[in-house]
Chain A
Amino acid sequence: MRWRLAIITYIALWLTSALAAYEEFHELLTFRPLSDGKLAARFTFTTSLNGTHPRDPSNLADEDQSQHYTVFPLALGQVLREYAVTELHLNLNAGKWDYDHWGYPDEPGVGTGAELWAWMGESATRSVDERWKGLRNALSGQFCASLGSLDDQRTTSPELTFRPEGSLPSSGGAHRLRHGTLPSEHVCTENLTPFLKLLPCKSLSGIASLLNPHRLFDTDWHGLSVHVRYLENEGIEVRLSFQSVFDPVRYTGGRRAWSLQSVFDRVIDRSCPVARSSEIRVAIPKEENNAQITPDFHNSDGEHAIFDVLNASKPLDVAMNWVNESAFDYNTVLSGVPLTHISVRRTLKGSSQSRGRLAVSITNNMPITIQTSYLESMPWLLQFYLHTLQVHSNGVSRDDLVSIVSCIPSVPHARPTLFQAILTLPPKSTLDISMDVIKPFLRYTEHPPDAQRGWDLPPAVLVPLLPANATVLTDHPELSLSEHKMDGFGYPIRSPRRMYTPVLLVDLATPDFSMPYNVIIMSCTLIALIFGMVFNLLTRKFTLVRVSSEP
Chain B
Amino acid sequence: MALVLRAKFRRWLRGGDDGIAAKVRRKNQINDIIWKSLPSIRLSLLVAGYAWMLAIPLPNLGRNTYIDENALQPGQVNTYWNWPHVFRADRYLESLEQLRDQNSTNAEWAGYIKHEFRDLGIHVSTQSYHFTNASGEYNGTNVYAVLSSPRASGAEAMLISASRVSLNGNLNLRGIATVLSLAGYLKEYSLWSKDLVFVISDGYLEGMQAFITSYHGADEPNLDADPLTLSSGVIWTALNIDYPGHSFSHLGVFFEGLNGRLPNQDLINSFRLVSTYTGGVPVLLYDHRDPREVPHLESQLSIIPTWLPDVVKKQDAVREYGFRAKNILKHVGYQARGQTNGVHGLLHRFRIDAITLFAVPSSGPHGFHALGRVVESTLRTMNNLLEHLHASFFFYLLVKPGTFLKIGTYLPSVILVSVSMMFTGLGEWTDARWYEDLSKPKATDKSVAASGGIILLERPRPVLQALLIMLATHLAGVALFYIRTSGFAGLHPETTSLTLCALLALPPLFALIVRSSPSERSAPIASILKAANLCLASTVISVTSVLNFSLAAVLAVLLGVPLSYSSYKSALPAKIGRYAIYVGLGLGWLFCEKEVQRAIWNWEILGVWFAPFVCVVYTPLVLQAGIVSLLPS
Contact = CB atoms under 8 A, between A and B. Distances in A.
- Main DSSP-derived SS at the A contact region: loop
A541 B456 contact: yes
A456 B27 CA distance: 61
B155 A456 contact: yes
A349 B28 CA distance: 61
Contact of B216 (A95, A217, A349, A510): A349
A517 B111 CA distance: 48
A505 B233 CA distance: 7
A502 interface: yes
Interface in A502-551: 502-505, 507, 510, 512, 514, 516-517, 520, 523, 534-535, 537-544, 546
B91 interface: no
B151 A507 contact: no
B492 interface: no
A113 B216 CA distance: 25
Nearest to A96: B154
A219 interface: yes
B121 A334 contact: yes
B190 A538 contact: no
A192 interface: no
Nearest to B71: A450
A96 B148 contact: yes
A220 interface: yes
Interface in A134-173: none
Given A220-B190, A250-B187, A539-B430, A183 B387 contact: no
Interface in A409-430: none
B150 A331 contact: no
Interface size class of B (residues with CB under 8 A): 35 or more
Contact of B119 (A250, A330, A502): A330
A542 B24 CA distance: 9
A351 B153 contact: no
Contact of A183 (B24, B119, B153): B153
B254 interface: no
Interface in A380-418: none
Given A250-B187, A539-B426, A345 B231 contact: yes
Nearest to A504: B155
Contacts of A520: 392, 407
A535 B187 contact: no
Given A96-B148, A330-B118, A351-B216, A514 B390 contact: yes
B451 A331 contact: no
B101 interface: no
A253 B233 CA distance: 28
A381 to B, nearest CB: 14
B454 to A, nearest CB: 9
A516 B124 CA distance: 42
Contacts of B63: none
Interface residues of A, number: 61
Contacts of B310: none
A36 interface: yes
A332 B386 CA distance: 37
A351 B351 contact: yes
B121 A96 contact: no
A87 interface: no
Nearest to B214: A349
A247 interface: yes
B350 interface: yes
B386 A453 contact: yes
Contacts of B407: 520
A249 interface: yes
Interface in B112-133: 115, 118-121, 123-124
A543 B456 contact: yes
A36 B121 contact: yes
A512 B38 CA distance: 40
A453 B388 contact: yes
A332 to B, nearest CB: 9
Given A330-B121, A456-B153, A541 B388 contact: no
B441 interface: no
A452 B153 contact: no
A341 B231 CA distance: 19
B85 interface: no
A347 interface: yes
Given A249-B121, A331-B118, A507-B234, A544 B216 contact: no
A516 B392 contact: yes
B198 to A, nearest CB: 15
B387 A350 contact: no
B447 interface: yes
A450 B69 CA distance: 12
A438 interface: no
Interface in B97-149: 115, 118-121, 123-124, 148
A323 to B, nearest CB: 21
A539 B433 CA distance: 10
Contacts of A250: 150, 187-188, 190
Nearest to A101: B123
Nearest to B38: A538
Nearest to A245: B150
Contact of B156 (A505, A517, A537): A505
Contacts of A516: 391-392
Contacts of A331: 115, 118-119
B204 interface: no
B598 interface: no
A538 B443 CA distance: 25
B28 to A, nearest CB: 5
Contacts of A349: 216-218
A538 B430 contact: yes
A538 B351 contact: no
A91 to B, nearest CB: 14
A470 to B, nearest CB: 32
Contacts of B34: 537-538
Given A95-B150, A451-B387, A218 B430 contact: no
- Which residue, B38, B120, B387, has most C-beta atoms of chain A within 10 A? B387
A94 interface: yes
Given A218-B190, A250-B187, A96 B152 contact: yes
Interface in B19-56: 24, 27-28, 30-31, 34-35, 38
A473 interface: no
A453 B387 contact: yes
Contacts of A211: none
A502 B217 contact: no
A95 B392 contact: no
Interface in A328-351: 328-331, 334-335, 345, 347, 349-351
B349 interface: yes
Contacts of B153: 94-96, 112-113, 183, 456, 502-503
Contacts of B231: 345, 347
A534 to B, nearest CB: 8
Contact of A247 (B150, B234, B350): B150
Contact of A514 (B154, B391, B447): B391
A544 B447 contact: yes
Contact of B150 (A221, A450, A535): A221
A253 B218 CA distance: 40
B412 to A, nearest CB: 10
A451 B386 CA distance: 10
B172 to A, nearest CB: 25
A217 B151 contact: yes
Interface of A: 36-37, 94-96, 98, 112-113, 183, 217-222, 247, 249-250, 253, 328-331, 334-335, 345, 347, 349-351, 357, 359, 450-454, 456, 502-505, 507, 510, 512, 514, 516-517, 520, 523, 534-535, 537-544, 546
Given A539-B429, A543-B456, 4 more contacts: A218-B151, A351-B216, A541-B434, A544-B451
> Which 4 interchain pairs have the tightest Cβ spacing?
A349-B217, A453-B387, A330-B121, A505-B155
15 contacts: A94-B151, A220-B190, A247-B150, A345-B231, A351-B349, A520-B392, A520-B407, A535-B426, A538-B430, A539-B426, A539-B430, A541-B456, A542-B451, A543-B455, A544-B445
